Amino acid sequence: MIQRSTRNTLFFLFLCLVIANCSESKSSGIVFKDGFASIPIDIDAPKRNLSDFVETVEVIQLEETPNSLMGSILEYEKIGENIILRNFNTNSVIQFTEEGKYISSFSKSGNGPKEYSFILSFWVDGESVFIYDSPNGRVQEYDIQGIHKSSTRISQSAINSIISKSGKFYLSTIRPIEGTHRFYTIMLDSNGAPIDMQIPYEYGKLIINGWGYSDFALLEGELMHHYANNDTVYIQRDGQFEPYISFDFGDNWAWKGVGEIESMEDFDAVTRQKGKVFTIAPIVSNDQVYLSYLHEGSTPSILVDLKTGKSATIRDGYSSELRPIKYEAGQLVYVANSTVLADFVNSLNQVEVKYLGHASLESIESSENPALVKVKFKDSSEW
């Protein structure tokens, strides 16, 4: 039996009170309290173009070889200075230099003891590449050359995402644990044995993640958790997840006041409410948040300066052709299809665009591989 965390339950109750108070307030700025921030979101705020907020851009062309033809890029990882990507189309892991030159790749597709049949979750921890092979219920660990290092059996089902940190595994689940315990995360030891449950919730939502992001992310070494249909990001401090940032959509939040979701019909009734927001995708750094949300068929994004509380809304800030992935060293990393990169670059007025290595706009346009685009935003005083 997994032991539940009472401290986390207290944080959950505290969160409910904070969110309730913030929802009733008409404050237009971020509310900070005890390491927790509530950010009011105005879906009717004026929308501007992404190019209005860009200070500098770095573009990385991913070298196209027979072993590095990329499909969709869902994650962005690093080992040292090298870029590690999962090729969704070929079930392989590919390594590039920081300038996009192809180094190596490996694929261990199969059902053997050192193989994987499908990559549900992929991440880097230290010098190792980890792959969650969901059909076979195990995590496979490899070095960057594809040499197998370990295999860990994962007995839990209905896993949405998984990650490892400091010798432990963290599972994000979408169903009650052991049929009764309602917690978003399960902590496992290095052998895959459950040792804790954290982030309690009251009502199940039949959560469906359509953004393609992992539920877990790292912020300066601290683990964060977020569900696509949840308005709160949690961060782990001293071994416990606690509320970190809440996005207050007020009455425009589709899940406000909703109880248990017991069927897809219930789910559809919530998500099809006209004018309401039911799913969000926040990317968080130490000083900025880039929050995308689905509203009336469009996907605007809100750029928030956590230090000043200033925010701005970006028209179509998220798209499958220009998709934000994660913050790195003060820049937001996007994956850009070669067909839309020229439009983005040409929309930038007097902005420095640097092509790394021997890349050029012309060489990227002639490539089938997507490009990586690192954007540094202007100081919020210029928004």
| Residue 272 lies inside a defined structural domain of this protein | yes
Here the contacts of 164-172 (C-beta below 8 Å, separation 24 or greater) are 164/123, 164/125, 164/130, 164/139, 165/125, 165/218, 165/223, 168/195, 169/139, 170/216, 170/223, 170/225, 172/215, 172/216, 172/225, 172/227
pLDDT at 89: 84
Distance (Å, whole) CA 77 – CA 166: 17
26 domain-assigned:
yes
Task: State the total domains in the chain.
Answer: 1
Question: How many angstroms from the chain centroid is the CA of residue 209?
Answer: 11
Per the domain annotation, does 170 fall within a domain? Answer: yes
Report strand pairing: 371-377 vs 54-61.
antiparallel
Is residue 163 domain-resident? yes
- The amino acid at residue 298 is S
Structural domain that includes position 262: 6-74+154-382
Look at residue 103 and tell me if it is in a domain. Answer: no
pLDDT given for residue 170 in this prediction: 97
Q: Residue holding tokens 């070095």?
A: 143
Which tens digit of pLDDT belongs to each residue from 111-155?
A: 999 999 999 899 999 999 999 999 999 999 999 999 999 999 999
Cα–Cα distance, 284 to 228 (Å, whole number) = 14
pLDDT of the residue at 209: 61
Which token pair is 252? 């425009």
In a domain, 98, yes or no: no
Q: Report if residue 102 sits inside a domain.
A: no
| pLDDT tens-digit readout, 94-111 | 999 999 999 999 999 999
Mean pLDDT of 359-383: 95
Give the chain's largest Cα–Cα span: 60
CB 76 within 8 A of CB 88: no
Identify the burial level of 242 via C-beta atoms within 10 angstroms of its C-beta, where 0-12 means exposed, 13-18 middle and 19 or more buried: buried
200 SS3 class = strand
* Lookup: tokens for 315: 């028209």
Whether residue 113 is contained in a domain is answered as no
Which pLDDT score, from 0 to 100, does residue 13 have? 37
Q: What percent of the chain has pLDDT over 70?
A: 91
Residue 169's DSSP bridge partners are 164, 188
Is the pLDDT higher at 8 or at 348? 348
User: How would you classify the pairing of strands 47-48 and 311-314?
Assistant: parallel
Could you tell me the two tokens for 81?
Answer: 């200075």
With CA atoms as reference, report the closest residue to 326 among 381, 257, 373, 264.
373
| Rg from Cα positions in the chain | 21
Q: What is the pLDDT of residue 24?
A: 35
Any idea what the Cα angle at residue 287 is, between residues 212 and 319, rounded to 5°? 30
Q: How many CB atoms are closer than 10 A to CB 243?
A: 22
Give the pairing type, strands 183-188 and 301-305.
unpaired
Going by C-beta distance under 8 Å and a sequence separation of 6 or more, which residues neighbour residue 52? Answer: none
